[in-house]
Amino acid sequence: MLYASRKNVCLIDVEAAQTNSTVIVGGLEDAAAVDFLYGPASVIYWTDVSQEAIKRVTWPAASSGSSPQIEVVVSRGVISPDGLACDWVSRKLYWTDSGVKRIEVSDLDGRMRKVLFWDILDQPRILALYPQRG
């Protein structure tokens, strides 16, 4: 299980029934939402509300003892990114922004950004995807 706790993005092995978590990325400003793309080198994405950005890091490289290479994926035009979801089928990144009352989508690297909904929302916070159903 992966979760954000403001200053850290952490991982708990629920199959091992352990209560100790491993800090994947620490020293963050205000991590709010988190999601990931699973693979040989998984990519973990999170929103940082205080820094008004969406960031990512590759894992397990992040836990190899060296400093993780944090990349900013989206920072321009983001005010309060609260929700985040990765579409592993179409390889897209979705997020909510309650500050500008929008739901947006982009490629996994932040390019090809598009506003999906903006005029019918009041402070959108969380979203979930069902990629198999589109």
Q: What is the pLDDT of residues 11-53, one digit of tens each?
A: 888 887 667 888 989 999 999 999 999 877 789 999 999 999 9
Range of the domain at 45: 2-133
Tokens standing for residue 75: 């920072």
Q: Which residue bears the tokens 């939402």?
A: 33
**pLDDT above 90 (res 57):** yes
Look up the CATH number of the domain holding residue 58.
2.120.10.30
**pLDDT above 70 (res 70):** yes
Total tally of structural domains belonging to the chain? 1
